[in-house]
Structure 1
């Protein structure tokens, strides 16, 4: 991305997560009154303001201009110039996600959405929730979000581009409950996870948890687990030379044909073809 800033000072280094889908960076910047920034990204980009601001901030692009002092999200298509302008002094903590649309894979509703249409400074609680979880994952000590960060990336993109789900406003899952849930699914994705385990983990009934999880993420718990299994299979395929049968068992599939069916549905390629492409 190219950037020209005036009156904008970056505070520290960003925390980041790099995956085969895209690049996530969480930044903090101090803006002086009248500060401006001109940005162009070679890839589609999500710009998500993570906390309320002390002054109004505006974004101007082909779609016009939008301004806000609150949490917001913006989608900027590849190659689209956008200008940030600040009315007064404020600190901005924001998440930037640059992604490759061709690598997202099948996501419900996403094929009907054009990645060439900008959306500036819209408000969506699901987008904010996914962004907060991804920010927390990027800030972890050690090797960061790991595989489950990729699932958060895809969930964030889907929430932002498909316009979210009104049901998300009815979700009473706290950030802690949601974080506990997705962490648990990632750690145990290779075995059968019962709904009652997740319900007990969060202190909710099974029915309530199931509806609240889907409202918060756009994905039922069992589908989130299946995505985690595919991510684990990808990791093994790229890092090791073990057989596809071993990959299948280690990532929670019943056998190699089961892995192949699910993997091809999720990625468009068989595990063998995907491994060959990585090499």
Structure 2
């Protein structure tokens, strides 16, 4: 099933430059925005899905300010300044002294993230707002994801999904499962389900998510098994 990003927004003073670039991967919608900013550009945003904002390029002597519902105010005035906004958390954004901002928005389905990482994912981390932070590793991955959104000849989806897995593992500090869990084998019945499916679809694209769904495991647990 294709994940569709849903967000309520009211904006004023922003104008999109060129065409919006975007890409959909399993459980993730990536939007690559390039916008010019008016003198008093501002917006209100709330989404039912978690979202990562990454400033890629900031043109001007001012900043883009993000304000939370409790009055928390954070300044974004450099490339690769980031904000993580949990599901349902409203924010206001306003511009002071910027002419242009290019940024990446990643909207993702929390259920799909759980499917990928299983018990290794700390759901409390999904609920924690981070209105301004920097991380060199996430910055590198976000830059590569943005480049793929703008690629006229995009690579295989497994490339983008691999970048996203690495980004989410860094963003939420998802550790490797313990050794005992990693070495748990499949039961004979589940192993037969998997091998029969592979035999029947050997000429098609076989996704880890499909195999995990057959066995009732998370993608991480299926991979280790």
TM-score (norm 2): 0.71
Q: Which runs of 5+ in 1 are unaligned?
A: 164-217, 220-236, 253-258, 271-279
Q: Secondary structure at the match of 1:4?
A: strand
Which residue number corresponds to residue 61 of structure 1?
68
Which residue number corresponds to residue 88 of structure 1?
97
Which residue number corresponds to residue 39 of structure 1?
45
Kept in 1, the 8 Å contact 2:55–2:103? The answer is yes
Kept in 1, the 8 Å contact 2:76–2:82? The answer is no
Which residue number corresponds to residue 147 of structure 1?
158
1:244 aligned to 188, 198, 206, which one? 198
Instruction: Give, in angstroms, the shift of residue 247 of structure 1.
Output: 4.7
Count of residues paired in the alignment: 189
Q: Which runs of 5+ in 2 are unaligned?
A: 1-6, 177-193
User: Pairwise mapping of residues 1-279 of structure 1 onto structure 2 (< 5 A)?
Assistant: 1-54=7-60, 55-62=62-69, 64-71=72-79, 72-104=81-113, 105-106=116-117, 110-111=121-122, 113-143=124-154, 146-162=157-173, 243-245=197-199, 247=201, 264=217, 266=219
Cα distance in 1 for partners of 2:165, 2:69 equals 26
Kept in 2, the 8 Å contact 1:73–1:127? The answer is no
Which structure: greater helix fraction? 1
Which structure: greater strand fraction? 2
Cα distance in 2 for partners of 1:250, 1:26 equals 30
TM-score (norm 1): 0.58
Cα distance in 2 for partners of 1:84, 1:263 equals 41
1:40-76 Cα deviation digits (max 9, x unpaired): 1121111110124412111001461111311211111
Instruction: Give, in angstroms, the shift of residue 14 of structure 1.
Output: 1.9
Cα distance in 2 for partners of 1:114, 1:60 equals 20
Instruction: Give, in angstroms, the shift of residue 248 of structure 1.
Output: 6.4
Q: Structure 1 143/124 Cα, relative in aligned 2: closer, same or farther at 3 Å? A: closer
User: Which sits farther off after the overlay, 8-17 or 89-98?
Assistant: 8-17
Kept in 2, the 8 Å contact 1:16–1:24? The answer is yes
Output the aligned Cα RMSD: 3.4
